[in-house]
C-alpha cells in the first residue's frame, strides 16, 4: 500500500486541497483524445469559451475509501458515469464513454492514492469529474470542443458538526424549473442556488429545502442532497419528482432498506403538509457529500416543525441505514454485487 500523506485527516472539512494528479481529456473534431494524468491544476481556456459565456458545464461527485482491510475502493462509479451521460445529453455535450469514464476515475485515484484518507479517520477522497465547453462561442449554441477532467480532494463532513442534526428552511427560491435541468447535474443548477444558500446561512440555517417549482406544495430536495423520511411505523418515504437529481446514495439506501433491512419503502410525491402534520418520525439528507445527515427541524416562514428524532442525534432507523451504507462503503459489510469498485488491493 502507498504511504499516506501526512495530514490531520480528522480535522478536514469539505474543502479543496490540491492533490498530485488530475485526469484531462480534450474533445476536438468529434472525438475524445487519449487523456493524460497531469500535475497542472490550472485550466487555460479562451476568454469566449462556452463554459464562461453560457455556463455549458456538468459534473459528478463520488468518493474513494480506504477499507477496514486496507484496500482502496470507490462506490458505484458506473452509476455516476451513466448520470453524467444523461447530463451531457441534456446539455448538448459529447458523452465521455462510460467504460473509459470509470477507468479514468480508477487511474486518477491510483495516481492520488496517497491522498485517500486512512480507514477510521472520518475523511474520504472526494472525486469530482467535470466537463465544460472549451472553445469560443458567441452566438447561443453549444461549443464544438470540450474538456473532461477529474480532480480529487480529501474531505471531511459536508455539514459542520458531522452527524449532528441540522436545521433547514423552506426556500422562497426555486432550484429547478418544472421542465428544466433539475434532474441532471448541470453547474447552472448550483449557480441558481448560490444566493439562496448564502441567504439561508445569513439567517442561521444549514440548508434550503426546495418545494416543487410548479405548485410549491411538494418536497423536492436541498441544494446538494436528496431528502428521505421515516414514518413512525418504520416505512422509508422517498420524495419522487421529475425535477430532482436521481441521487445514487438515495437509490442505494432504497435498496438497502428493502433488500437488506426488510423495510417498507414508499417512493411517491411527498407534500410539505405531511411534515406540518407531524407524520414523520425522522428526516435526513442523503448524497455523496452529505452521506446521511439528520434533519432536526424544518423552518417555514416563522414556524418551526420539529422532527421527533430531535436535535441531539440521528434517529434509530436512519442510523441503521447509515451504518449499513457506510459499512458497505468501508468494507465492513458485504456489498451487493457491483457496488464496490476495487482500485487497489
Ligand atoms: N441532489 C443534489 C442537488 C446533489 O447535488 C447531490 C450530489 O451529488 C445529490 C442530490 C446526491 O446525489 P448522490 O447521492 O448521487 O451524490
Ligand atoms: C455531491 O454530493 O457529490 C455533490 O455534488 C453535492 C455538492 C453540493 C457538494
Task: Name the pLDDT band for 163 (thresholds 50, 70, 90).
Answer: confident
What residue has cell string 491522498? 115
**Separation of alpha carbons 11 and 13, rounded Å:** 6
Q: Which of 176, 256, 288, 328 to mutate to test the pocket of ligand 1 (most atoms within 8 A of CB)?
A: 288
pLDDT at 312: 95
Task: Name the pLDDT band for 28 (thresholds 50, 70, 90).
Answer: very high
- Residue 224 Cβ inside 6 Å of ligand 2? The answer reads yes
Q: Any long-range contacts for 228-233 (C-beta under 8 Å, 24+ apart)?
A: 228/253, 228/283, 228/284, 228/285, 228/286, 228/292, 228/318, 229/270, 229/275, 229/280, 229/282, 229/283, 230/280, 230/281, 230/282, 230/283, 230/315, 230/317, 230/318, 231/279, 231/280, 231/281, 232/281, 232/308
- Residue 193 Cβ inside 6 Å of ligand 2? The answer reads no
Question: 134 with 144: CB under 8 angstroms?
Answer: no
What is the rounded (10 degree) CA torsion for 338, 339, 343, 345? Answer: -80
- Mean pLDDT for the chain? 97
The residues spanned by each domain of the chain are 9-157, 166-329
Q: What percent of the chain has pLDDT over 70?
A: 100
Q: Which of 287, 290, 293 to mutate to test the pocket of ligand 2 (most atoms within 8 A of CB)?
A: 287
Instruction: Looking at the CA of 194, name the nearest ligand.
Output: 2
- Residue 288 Cβ inside 6 Å of ligand 1? The answer reads yes
Q: Which ligand 2 atom is the nearest neighbour of the CA of 289?
A: 2
What's domain 9-157's architecture? Answer: 2-Layer Sandwich (3.30)
- Residue 77 Cβ inside 6 Å of ligand 1? The answer reads no
The stretch 77-81 carries a mean pLDDT of 98
pLDDT in tens, 196-240: 999 999 999 999 999 999 999 999 999 999 999 999 999 999 999
The stretch 3-21 carries a mean pLDDT of 95
* pLDDT above 80: residue 162: no
- Residue 207 Cβ inside 6 Å of ligand 1? The answer reads no
Task: Name the pLDDT band for 2 (thresholds 50, 70, 90).
Answer: confident
The stretch 63-83 carries a mean pLDDT of 97
288 alpha carbon to ligand 2 midpoint, in Å? 6
Q: Which of 246, 288, 290 to mutate to test the pocket of ligand 2 (most atoms within 8 A of CB)?
A: 288
The stretch 112-122 carries a mean pLDDT of 96
pLDDT at 160: 80
287 alpha carbon to ligand 2 midpoint, in Å? 7
Distances (CA, A) of 20 to 27, 150, 211, 342: 23, 12, 41, 21
* pLDDT above 90: residue 126: yes
The stretch 151-160 carries a mean pLDDT of 93
pLDDT in tens, 265-307: 999 999 999 999 999 999 999 999 999 999 999 999 999 999 9
Q: Which residues are catalytic?
A: 185
- Residue 226 Cβ inside 6 Å of ligand 1? The answer reads yes
What's domain 166-329's architecture? Answer: Alpha-Beta Barrel (3.20)
* pLDDT above 90: residue 161: no
- Residue 246 Cβ inside 6 Å of ligand 1? The answer reads no
pLDDT at 291: 95
Q: Which ligand 2 atom is the nearest neighbour of the CA of 288?
A: 2
pLDDT at 92: 98
The secondary element (H helix, E strand) that includes residue 325 is: helix 316-329
Amino acid at each position: 500500500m502507498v504511504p499516506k500523506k501526512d495530514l490531520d485527516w480528522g480535522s478536514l472539512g469539505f474543502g479543496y486541497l490540491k492533490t498530485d494528479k488530475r485526469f484531462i481529456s480534450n474533445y476536438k473534431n468529434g472525438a475524445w483524445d487519449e487523456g493524460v494524468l497531469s500535475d497542472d491544476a490550472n485550466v487555460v481556456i479562451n476568454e469566449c469559451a462556452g463554459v464562461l459565456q453560457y455556463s455549458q458545464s456538468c459534473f459528478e461527485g463520488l468518493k474513494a475509501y480506504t477499507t477496514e482491510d486496507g484496500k482502496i475502493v470507490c462506490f458505484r462509479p458506473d452509476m455516476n458515469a451513466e448520470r453524467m451521460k444523461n447530463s451531457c445529453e441534456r446539455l448538448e455535450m459529447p458523452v465521455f464513454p462510460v467504460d473509459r469514464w470509470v477507468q479514468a476515475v480508477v487511474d486518477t485515484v491510483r495516481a492520488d492514492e496517497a491522498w485517500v484518507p486512512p480507514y477510521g479517520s472520518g475523511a474520504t477522497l472526494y472525486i469530482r469529474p467535470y466537463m465544460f465547453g472549451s472553445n469560443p462561442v458567441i452566438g447561443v449554441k453549444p461549443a464544438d470542443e470540450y474538456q473532461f477532467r477529474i480532480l480529487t480532494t480529501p474531505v471531511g463532513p459536508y455539514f459542520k458538526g458531522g452527524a449532528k442534526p441540522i436545521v433547514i428552511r423552506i426556500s422562497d427560491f426555486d432550484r429547478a424549473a418544472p421542465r428544466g435541468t433539475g434532474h441532471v447535474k448541470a453547474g447552472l443548477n448550483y449557480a441558481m442556488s448560490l444566493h439562496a444558500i448564502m441567504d439561508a446561512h445569513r439567517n442561521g440555517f444549514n440548508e434550503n429545502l426546495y418545494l416543487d417549482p410548479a405548485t410549491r406544495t411538494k418536497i423536492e430536495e436541498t441544494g446538494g442532497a436528496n431528502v428521505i423520511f421515516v414514518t413512525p411505523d418504520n416505512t422509508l418515504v422517498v420524495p419522487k419528482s421529475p425535477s430532482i437529481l436521481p441521487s445514487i446514495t438515495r437509490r442505494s439506501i432504497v435498496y438497502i432498506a428493502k433488500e437488506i433491512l426488510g423495510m417498507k419503502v414508499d417512493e411517491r410525491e411527498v407534500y410539505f403538509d405531511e411534515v406540518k402534520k407531524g407524520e414523520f418520525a425522522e428526516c435526513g439528507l442523503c448524497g455523496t457529500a452529505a452521506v446521511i445527515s439528520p434533519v432536526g427541524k424544518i423552518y417555514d416562514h416563522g414556524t418551526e416543525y420539529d422532527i421527533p428524532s430531535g436535535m441531539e442525534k440521528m434517529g434509530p432507523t436512519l442510523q441503521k441505514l447509515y451504518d449499513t451504507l457506510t459499512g458497505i462503503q468501508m468494507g465492513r459489510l458485504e456489498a451487493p454485487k457491483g457496488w464496490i469498485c476495487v482500485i487497489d488491493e
